[in-house]
Amino acid sequence: MENKEIIDIATKIIALMVAIIGHEIMHGYVAYKYGDNTAKNAGRLSINPIKHVDLVGTIILPALLFFSHAPFLFGWAKPVPINMREVINNGGYKAAIFVSLAGIAYNFSLAIICTIMLGFLNEPTTYIGLFFVYLVLQSLIYNVVLGVFNLYPIPPLDGSHALAYLAASNGWYGIMNFFDKIQRYGMLILLLFIATPLSRYFFAPIGYIVNYLIHLA
């Protein structure tokens, strides 16, 4: 295995871990700011990756995607425990929306930071420099992947939670009832979009945003 290939694999793994673990920590951190100590008491605001590893989402799925030569890796960390009732009691439905979107905000913020960093990086002349460029580029990609993916209003993705709390705050009972009905079918709906030809449309925004940010850099 060549050095460039090793660097490519290593940076993909690191970038994915930072994206998915940071995503979950931010949910718990914002909930903590609204008076919910659940994640903090469970030790889930820690940056120690071992506390956030999910066997399927953090290890098995990314490995399967890698060995099947998928265009990009994907995964998730162990969900951070949140007492949303406590959050709502302290900050209302607006707080619940903020908690739901915290992970997405983290991912897009990190993607923007990586875009800015790419604009200042020169062509690498050493393997250390190449590692750093690859890491920034992969971090841009995977944070866009996580951010866009979780925006979709499909249970159990963050976008569905945010929209449900927005509906609850405005008394949009039709939308609330709709999410209640499709909750149990959420994973099947996701598989329909991910594992069928519909995936090209489902993931199309990711490609557009990544290409735009890279050209912007």
pLDDT in tens, the chain (217 residues): 578 888 988 999 899 999 999 999 999 999 999 999 999 999 999 999 889 988 888 888 888 877 777 767 777 889 999 999 999 999 999 999 999 999 999 999 999 999 999 999 988 889 999 999 999 999 999 999 999 999 999 998 999 999 999 999 999 989 888 988 898 898 889 888 877 888 888 889 999 999 999 999 8
Containing structural domain, residue 114? 3-216
pLDDT number for residue 44? 94
Amino acid letter, 133: V
Query: Can you tell me the distance from the alpha carbon of 111 to that of 114, in angstroms, rounded to the nearest whole number?
Result: 5
pLDDT number for residue 164? 94
Structure tokens belonging to residue 126: 């050493």
pLDDT number for residue 95? 98
Contact 93, 169 (CB under 8 A): yes
Q: Against a cut of 0.85, is the pTM above it?
A: yes
**Site of tokens 């994915």:** 16
Phi, psi (rounded to 5 degrees) for 73: -85, 160
Nearest to 113, CA basis, from 82, 140, 83, 141: 140
Active site amino acids: 24
CA distances from 28 to 52, 53, 107, 179, 194 (A): 12, 15, 15, 23, 27
Most distant pair of Cα atoms in the chain: their distance = 59
pLDDT number for residue 64? 82
Provide CB contacts within 8 A for 205, sequence distance 6+. Answer: 148
Nearest to 58, CA basis, from 29, 107, 24: 24
Number of structural domains found in the chain? 1
Structure tokens belonging to residue 36: 């919910």
pLDDT number for residue 115? 97
pLDDT number for residue 63? 82
pLDDT number for residue 1? 58
Nearest to 143, CA basis, from 166, 122, 170, 114: 114
Q: Give the gyration radius of the chain's Cα atoms.
A: 18
